[in-house]
Amino acid sequence: MAKEKEQKQPLPPVAEWAPALALSWLVPGGGHLLLKRTGRGLLLMAAITSMFVCGLMMRGAMFQPESGDLLTTLINTGGFIGDVASGILYLLSQWLGYSQPDVAGAVHDYGTKFLVTAGLLNILAMVDAFDIAVRRKD
């Protein structure tokens, strides 16, 4: 009952939660730091950044959106969204010229998955920062 009431509350103004959400995308854990959840923010930052850096060190490939058959489109577009979701980590790696072709090998493959998963975990962190900003969560 209390949960239903909580869910029906209108969203606070965009200005209250948008900065936390945007910073959360740009800097993993940044939204939590902005909302004064320092411990959680630092943990998220450490985990997501470490995962992304491990992916780079394993020479994982970045996805580029591609059209073609449904599976190719889904995999490449989904992978691209996962990569971009890492925010500044992705942007920095592109600006600094990271370009790894998709080559065969278990380590490269793990690297690619690490890069995408870092972005997907950052999406979870963004949702959590949003929930905190709109006071659905402490």
Partner 1 sequence: MPKMTLSHFEASMLFSLFTSVVLGVVTKRTDRDRLHYGIYTFVCFFAALFGLGWLMYFGHG
Smaller CB separation from partner 1, 43 or 84: 43
Distance CA 72, CA 43 (A): 34
Q: Smallest gap, in angstroms, from Cβ of residue 20 to partner 1?
A: 14
Smaller CB separation from partner 1, 65 or 135: 135
DSSP string of 20-44?
HHHHHHHSTTHHHHHTT-HHHHHHH
Q: Smallest gap, in angstroms, from Cβ of residue 92 to partner 1?
A: 12
64: closest CA among 112, 22, 105, 114? 112
Q: Smallest gap, in angstroms, from Cβ of residue 118 to partner 1?
A: 8
Burial environment of residue 28 by CB neighbours within 10 A (0 to 12, 13 to 18, 19 or more): buried
Q: Smallest gap, in angstroms, from Cβ of residue 128 to partner 1?
A: 4
Q: Which residues bind partner 1 (CB under 8 A)?
A: 40, 43-44, 46-48, 50-51, 54, 56-59, 98, 106-107, 110, 113-114, 117-118, 121, 124-125, 127-128, 137-138
